[in-house]
Amino acid sequence: MADRISNLPDVVLSHILSLVPTNVAVATSVLSKRWKLLWRSVSTLNFNHSHHDDNNHETCSLFAQRVHAFILMHDMDQPFTRFCLSSSCPLDPIHVNAWISAATQHRVEHLDLSLGCAVELPSFLLFSCKTLVVLKLLNVVLSFNNSCCVYLPRLKILHLSSVAFSKDRDLAQLLSGSPNLEDLEASDLMFKSYVVETEFRRLSNLLRAHIFTPEFPLEVVDNVQFLRINWKDHNGFTSEFQNLTHLEFFSYRGGFFVLDLIKRCPKLQILTIYKVDSALFAEGDYPQSVPICISFHLKICTLKRYNGSKDEFRFVTYIMENSKYLQIMTISCNNDINKERKLEMFQKLSLCTRCSTSCKLLFE
């Protein structure tokens, strides 16, 4: 049988090799002379060492050597469209910085670092890379100097998780230097110094935000259409979300009245609440005037970890009684509730009035 794959053009074979892990792409060099040098022109570099039970010095050193060797042998005329590095073992910061420098010099568009041990990255390595479109960082320390100038004109996706900053001003500088950002995730960010008065610029092009950092100023993301937020430590909610249509939030505190949040989202269509604190709906009187989004826009509402308390039941019935266009009301119960109790809660909710004749009540 003829080897049809080997007869494909180099550009097609290189694209195929870009879809597999880098070590697999290199292994194809032994197939034939046709394949010997193809791996050197792949545009996607994906290095993964995630074996937590195999993090001794020898294996970690061998992993670093392989990454280093591949980068040195890569065709310098070919760009790194995508550079992904995931490692659970400690890596020498000098090596990591050298690899990132090589990626930026190769006009990298997608950079993804997921490190088991925190590594410090000087700001000059990343924040003047004009080709970056996607930047994802996990467990790194971003070091800014006084002369640092952030300019990432093409950056659209920025995901930061367990990233440490010296000052909140550094985060403000990173965001203001990314004017075309559309997708932002900020989870468990850390600051050595945080000043409440620091000025953050509103991200006018942002469409999606995932905020799990209590210090993050919500006015930065008040233009989004999708918002996922953790309400564990926030003390208040003052931002208005005029364009928000999809909201997911986790609340760990009693004393936060959920309708105070909902009424600030006049166009809300999809609402998901991950209830962690049993007192989530306990305080506050329901307004005489029903929020606009509940009356005219809400289509899908989901409540997670429902246990049938009086205040939870009151909230669910309020939504169903006042949502003219509600299509689906989903109730997801706590795992420790038995089938008999679930059936009892479902029957009780089934008897409630529904303003929308097309509303379906789903019980999970």
With tokens 């233009």, the residue in question is 223
Q: State residue 52's pLDDT score.
A: 53
Mean pLDDT taken over the chain: 83
Residue 78 near residue 41, CB atoms below 8 Å: yes
- The domains of the chain are located at 1-42, 43-218, 225-363
Separation of CA 335 from chain center: 26
Summarised one tens digit per residue, pLDDT across range 228-263 is: 998 665 555 678 999 999 999 887 654 446 777 888
Q: State residue 255's pLDDT score.
A: 45
Q: Collect the ranges in the chain with pLDDT lower than 50.
A: 1-2, 30, 254-256
Q: State residue 12's pLDDT score.
A: 60
Separation of CA 123 from chain center: 21
Which of 169, 201, 164, 202 is CA-nearest to residue 186? 164
**Angle, in degrees to the nearest 10, between helices 339-350 and 310-322:** 40
3-state SS of 206-244? CCEEEEECCCCCHHHHCCCCEEEEECCCCCCCCCCCCCC
Distances (CA, A) of 52 to 46, 48, 55, 88, 124: 18, 12, 6, 6, 31
Q: State residue 281's pLDDT score.
A: 63
> Residue 144 corresponds to which tokens in the numbers above?
């800014």
Which of 316, 314, 323 is CA-nearest to residue 355? 323
What kind and span of H or E run contains 135?
A: strand 134-143
How far is residue 350's CA from residue 111's CA, in Å, rounded to a whole number?
49
Looking at residue 272, the DSSP 8-state letter turns out to be E
Which of 269, 270, 234, 268 is CA-nearest to residue 251? 234
The pTM is what? Answer: 0.85
* Residue 255 backbone class (left: φ over 0; alpha: ψ -120 to 50; beta: rest): left
Q: State residue 334's pLDDT score.
A: 81
Helix (H, G, I), strand (E, B) or coil at 346: helix
Residue 268 near residue 299, CB atoms below 8 Å: no
Distances (CA, A) of 357 to 318, 319, 345: 15, 14, 21
Q: Which class for 312: exposed (0-12), middle (13-18), buried (19 or more C-beta within 10 A)?
A: buried
How far is residue 175's CA from residue 183's CA, in Å, rounded to a whole number?
12
- Residue 73 burial (CB count, 10 A): 12
**Helices and strands, number each (H, E), in the chain:** 10, 15
